Amino acid sequence: MTQKKIKRLGILTGGGDCPGLNAVIRGVAKPAMNDYGLTIVGIEDGFEGFVEGKMREISRDDIAGIIGQGGTILGTSNKGDPFHYPTEGMNGVEIVDASQRVLKHYKGWGLDALITIGGDGTMHISNKLSELGMNIVGVPKTIDNDLDATDQTFGFDTALSIATEAIDRLHTTASAHHRVMVIEVMGRYAGWIALQAGLAGGADIILLPENPFKWDSVMRRVIERSTRGNRYSIVCVAEGAKAADEEVVIKETDVKRTDPIRFGGIGEHVAGRITLETGLETRTTILGHLQRGGSPTAYDRVLATRYGTKAVELAVNGEFGRMVSLRGLNVTSVAIKDAISKQRLVPVDGEIVNTARAVGTSFGDE
């Protein structure tokens, strides 16, 4: 059976924004237009825009000079899951299945295939839409780096660089005032940013979601440093970290999201306990969206471009239901259903953790 030649290729960016999204859009659009003569249809504001029917065709002018721009020229949303779509009803917000509206727009816009750029949530949605008959190729995006089917997602390197620089800067002010500095970084279930930024920035304590910590271990480390002449300490904590005898700290819940839990506040919680139990002056810095903003690093620009061009290749060859993936030095692909089978979490006895322990870093578990 001869594969139908695609003519109209859709593209959307789903979930939270991430450095490198525009580089992927450019990596898709340039070869699609120049090598295959495709029309690129940009779906605005992620799956929310897909449900609401918001799209525009992408021109060469749209992608000129965007490789180094942060954000996304298409806009995005983390509240637009078509299978869990929030609408205003008689009794307030109601959650409905709006997937048929997506299928209607997919067909109405004459799309032959769709490239979805996003993290775990976007890939779960993509897999469901594939099962409904849509031709989809996925591109992995998340600063948490928690997709198991790829060695690295674009955006992670940029977030890691920002977090590392922040720790570097905290060292100078912490030493000047002889304080304990707690820095909270993103990482809901996977602590890759906290682990690698903490190691690169020389944090004294790293607290991970995968490894519940003990309060007495944290207190012992900061007191030891204070009493032996190291008059300040740096604690790097992932937003999803928690004490062994406590629940995760939640900032708020939002029923409009498929995952309604919004993490945040563990940094302040840790700082408060340190001050209370040790008497040491402690301050908190929460990086939050700074990690997702600004220009992508050179590494992320290159990786994002490679992902984009590979996604077009898969679409043109009719290899749908797949996600591009970095394995070793090569960009390849895996089935989307396999890509979402499990998260890529930090192995608590892995080589990077052991490296950090070897140079004296505490994980609050001794």
Looking at the structure of the chain, the number of domains it has is: 2
Same domain, 260 and 164: yes
Q: What is the CATH number of the domain that holds 45?
A: 3.40.50.450
Please state the rounded mean pLDDT for residues 144-152: 92
Q: Is residue 338, in this structure, part of any structural domain at all? A: no
Q: Is the pLDDT of residue 251 over 80?
A: no
Q: Give the C-alpha separation, 301 to 264, whole Å.
A: 29
Together in a domain, 130 and 181: no
| The predicted structure's pLDDT at residue 324 | 97
Catalytic (active site) residue 144 = yes
Cα–Cα distance measured from residue 113 to residue 345, given in angstroms and rounded to the nearest whole number: 31
> What mean pLDDT is predicted for residues 27-52?
97
pLDDT over 50 (residue 319): yes
Q: What is the largest CA-CA distance in the chain?
A: 75
Which positions ≥6 away from 246 have C-beta within 8 Å?
none
Residue type, 108: G
Average pLDDT over the chain, rounded to whole? 93
Beta-carbon contacts of residue 123 (< 8 Å; ≥ 6 apart): 116, 138, 140, 147, 323, 336, 339, 340
Predicted pLDDT of residue 236: 98
Q: Bridge partners of 334?
A: 323
Residues 106 and 42 occupy one common structural domain:
yes
Q: Are residues 115 and 166 in the same domain?
A: no
Residue 258 has pLDDT above 70, yes or no: no
What are the backbone dihedrals phi and psi of residue 168, each rounded to the nearest 5 degrees, phi first?
-55, -45
- Whether pLDDT at 3 is above 70: no
Distance between CA atoms of 210 and 346, rounded to whole angstroms?
A: 7
Which percentage of the chain shows pLDDT scores above 70? 97
pLDDT for the residue 2: 43
Domain assignment of residue 30, yes or no = yes
Residues 135, 267 within the same domain: no
77 or 255: which carries more pLDDT confidence?
A: 77
Is pLDDT at 327 greater than 90 in this prediction? yes
pLDDT at 1: 37
pTM value is: 0.92
pLDDT mean over 143-154: 92
Would residue 261 count as lying in a domain? yes
Residue 347 has pLDDT above 50, yes or no: yes
- Which residues have a Cβ under 8 Å from the Cβ of 37 and sit 6 or more positions away? none
Residues 118 and 211 in one domain: no
Pair 62, 76 in one domain: yes
194 and 141 within one domain: no
Burial class of 76 by CB neighbour count within 10 A (0 to 12, 13 to 18, 19+): buried
Give yes or no for residue 127 having a pLDDT over 50.
Answer: yes
Residue whose token pair is 């594939």: 130
* Residue 260 in this model has a pLDDT that exceeds 90: no
Task: Please check whether residues 284 and 310 belong to one and the same domain.
Answer: no
Return d(Cα 53, Cα 310) in angstroms, integer: 27
**Looking at the domain assignment, is residue 266 inside a domain?**
yes
Which DSSP string corresponds to 81-123? Answer: -GGGEEEEETTEEEEE--HHHHHHHHHHTT-SEEEEEESHHHH
Assigned domain for 207 exists: yes
Q: Read off the pLDDT of residues 71-105 as tens digits, 9 standing for 90 and up.
A: 999 999 888 899 999 888 777 888 899 999 999 99
How far is residue 222 from each of residues 46, 100, 299, measured CA to CA in Å?
44, 56, 35
Here the tokens at position 131 are: 């099962």
- Nearest 5°: the CA angle 204, 206, 211 is 145
- Residue 17 or residue 136, greater confidence: 136
Whether 176 is covered by a domain: the verdict is: yes
Work out the angle between the directed axes of helices 298-316 and 156-177 (0-180°, nearest 10): 160
At 155, list the tokens: 């955006």
Q: Is residue 157 over pLDDT 80? A: yes
Structure tokens at 185: 């970084």
Q: Which of 17, 144, 157, 204 is catalytic?
A: 144
| 334 lies in some domain | no
Residue 359 pLDDT? 97
Cα distance between residue 119 and residue 149, in whole Å: 12
Whether residues 21 and 141 share a domain: the answer is yes
Domain residues for the domain of 195 are: 159-292+347-358
Question: Is residue 104 domain-shared with residue 215, that is, in the same domain?
Answer: no
300-320 mean pLDDT:
97
Q: Residue 238's domain is classified under what CATH number?
A: 3.40.50.460
336: in domain: no
Is the domain of 85 the same as that of 108? yes
What is the predicted pLDDT for the residue at 250?
A: 82
